[in-house]
Amino acid sequence: MEILRSLDAMREWRASLAPSQRVGFAPTMGNLHAGHIELINVIKQQSDVVVASIFVNPMQFGGNEDLDAYPRTLEADLAKLEASGTAAVFTPTTTDIYPDGVSQHTAVDVPGLTDVLCGASRPGHFRGVTTVVSKLLGIVRPHIAAFGAKDLQQVLVIKKMVRDLSINTEIEVVPTVRESDGLAMSSRNGYLSHDERALAPLFSRTLEETAKRVAESGSDIKTVIAEGEAILTEAGFVVDYLEARHTYDLSEASSLNQETALFGAAFLGTTRLIDNRIV
């Protein structure tokens, strides 16, 4: 496995590939778990070579979010990627990605989809995501890139960006990988205390049960969601949002005449959990 620690090394490796080789790409921020490896496994089936990136992107962290505390486990991550059959790993520095600093870098904004849900709770977050993803796609030039469905809003934002900017990369959405108790795998799960980790699966179960009830209720969506939110609040979660929205434009769903998903985010202690279920 090639470890590409600079822009020049990444570009040289990419240029060394035959034009006929199909390149798959899995961008990550490291601290890898089985969900990340599933991105590699899925993309391998559709590619000749797979490259991953590990970059903790400062532009997507808000002022009240601790960038320095984000787990960095590079050596363990590299071992997992090598075992998964990844051909190359791009590990750029912040200077590689933002040579003039984050505040002076050109940014990519995707309107509409980024104003709600996590976009409302974390202003500027998706601006950071779309900027770094567009840059990584430009550097790596993959034919296909994989993203996890756990971050469904992020997937929808990236798909719109790729479409709007005519980026020649297919976006593959990989189903959410879950722990045996149903909790969606996330690097942030490591922040949970022992007691919080024991309670955390209730978040995913409540979303699943609420989504089923929304599908059965048809029209009484808000009442069903309010009941789901009350279950979480009573258990000790601080609910950020629990909302049914259409997946084509993230408009609020008052009916189920278009594909709809239930999106949820909640704090358990200081850890913010997110998940979703298609209704």
Which are the contacts of 237, defined by CB distance < 8 A and separation ≥ 6? 202, 203, 266, 267, 268
pLDDT tens, residue by residue, 91-130: 999 999 999 999 999 999 999 999 999 999 999 999 999 9
**Mean pLDDT by 10-residue block, N- to C-terminus, for the chain (279 residues)?**
97 97 98 97 98 97 82 96 98 97 96 96 96 98 98 98 98 98 95 97 98 85 95 98 96 89 97 96
DSSP one-letter code for 116: S
Mean pLDDT rounded to a whole number for the chain: 96
CATH code, 2-174: 3.40.50.620
Residues designated catalytic:
36
Separation of alpha carbons 108 and 57, rounded Å: 14
Separation of alpha carbons 253 and 256, rounded Å: 7
Q: What is the pLDDT of residue 217?
A: 79
The H-assigned helical ranges of the chain are 7-16, 34-44, 74-84, 94-97, 118-121, 125-140, 152-164, 194-199, 201-217, 221-235
Whether residue 135 contacts residue 182, with contact meaning beta carbons closer than 8 Å, is answered with no
Q: What is the pLDDT of residue 104?
A: 96
Whether residue 44 contacts residue 50, with contact meaning beta carbons closer than 8 Å, is answered with yes
Question: How many CA atoms are closer than 13 Å to the CA of 100, on its beta-carbon side?
Answer: 5
Q: What is the pLDDT of residue 63?
A: 76
Q: How many residues does this entry show for the chain?
A: 279
- DSSP for 10-72 reads HHHHHHHS-TTPPEEEEEE-S---HHHHHHHHHHHTT-SEEEEEE---GGGS-TTS-GGGS--
Locate CATH 3.30.1300.10 in the chain: 187-272
pTM of the model: 0.95
Q: What is the pLDDT of residue 219?
A: 67
Give the class (CATH, top level) of 187-272.
Answer: alpha beta
Identify the CA nearest to 92 among candidates 172, 27, 186: 27
Locate CATH 3.40.50.620 in the chain: 2-174
Residue that has been written with the tokens 């996590």 in this structure? 118
49-54/88-90 β-pairing: parallel
